[in-house]
Amino acid sequence: MTMVIMYQGENDLSLREKKKIETRNKIFDVSARLFKEKGIENTTVDEIVKEAGIGKGTFFNYFPSKTALLLYFAQQKEELTYNQIKNEALKSVSTREKIINTLVFVAKTNEKDKELTKMFVFEYMRHYGSSEDERKSRSLSNILYSLIEDGVRKEYVKSTIDAKKAAEIISAIYFHSLMEWLWSKIDYSFSDDISGKIGMVFDGIAGGRT
């Protein structure tokens, strides 16, 4: 039974935990630098551990795979982005505009680091439904879901609409269009493209007949 009561300010971490954080940060910093310097594909785990001054096994103690490290990067960025989205959505009134602005905003932040984005979209696909990372990989869907529910309340969206399904189709369109845009050789406006498509979803494509 321990009798030691610790009064610690900035220093309430054991040596172990401090070293753990240090190592994790070291891996993160070194790989961030290498990824920028020579691209993700061209950076090997061996290089990372050599530059970080740790053993190879250690890397895999912290990240179960190279992919896990990438996902960690992507997640960090995603968190930053999604925190800004609320402000972005507030800039407009109608649900349609809110959704378009949100998607364009996310796309723009993604454009800044195309390679990482590609990697993320790719890994998002690969690890689809692998249970643990559901919260984050579904978060765009969740944001859209809130916007649509809000839209139903304010009558921007039909009350008969299944908000969950609607959020799904919009995020499907977003991902697909983003891929098309990221990998496309020809340069076109993502904003215009996505606006047009969201417009179709709002107004429908049905003609006179049924």
Contact residues for its own copies, defined by CB under 8 A: 94, 96, 121-122, 125-126, 128-129, 148, 151-152, 154-159, 161-162, 165-166, 168-169, 171-173, 175-177, 179-180, 183-185, 193, 196-197, 200-210
Q: Does 15 bind DNA (CB under 7 A)?
A: yes
Nearest to 194 by CA among 207, 208, 182: 182
What would the x/- binding string for DNA be over residues 42 to 61, using CB under 7 A?
Answer: xxxxx-------xxxxx-xx
Residue closer to DNA, measured from CB, 45 or 179: 45
Closest CA to 78 of 29, 138, 164: 138
**In the complex with DNA, which residue's Cβ is closer, 9 or 57?**
57
Query: Segment near DNA (CB under 7 A), from 30-38, 65-73, 81-89, 186-194?
Result: 65-73
Closest to 171 (Cα-Cα) out of 142, 202, 128: 142
The listed partner (its own copies, DNA, none) that binds 157, CB under 5 to 8 Å by sort, is its own copies
Does 65 sit near DNA (CB under 7 A)?
A: yes
What is the C-alpha separation between 88 and 110, in angstroms, rounded?
15
d(Cα 14, Cα 16) in Å, to the nearest integer? 5
Q: How far apart are CA 167 and CA 141, in angstroms?
A: 6
Residue 62 one-letter amino acid: Y
- 67 part of the interface to DNA, by CB under 7 A: yes
Helix (H) or strand (E) holding 1: none
How distant, in Å, are the alpha carbons of 50, 64, 128, 173, 187 from that of 134?
33, 18, 8, 19, 33
Instruction: Report if residue 25 touches DNA, rule: CB under 7 A.
Output: no
Kindly state whether residue 66 participates in binding DNA, applying the rule CB under 7 A.
yes
Q: Which does 1 bind (CB under 5 to 8 A by kind): its own copies, DNA, none?
A: DNA
Q: How far is the CB of 121 from DNA (least distance, A)?
A: 18
Residues 6 or more apart whose CB falls under 8 angstroms from that of 174 comprise 103, 106, 107, 140, 194
Query: Is residue 196 part of the contact set for DNA (CB under 7 A)?
Result: no
64 near DNA (CB under 7 A): yes
Give the C-alpha separation, 86 to 94, whole Å.
14
**Residue 127 interacts with DNA (CB under 7 A): yes or no:** no
Closest CB to its own copies among residues 52, 148:
148
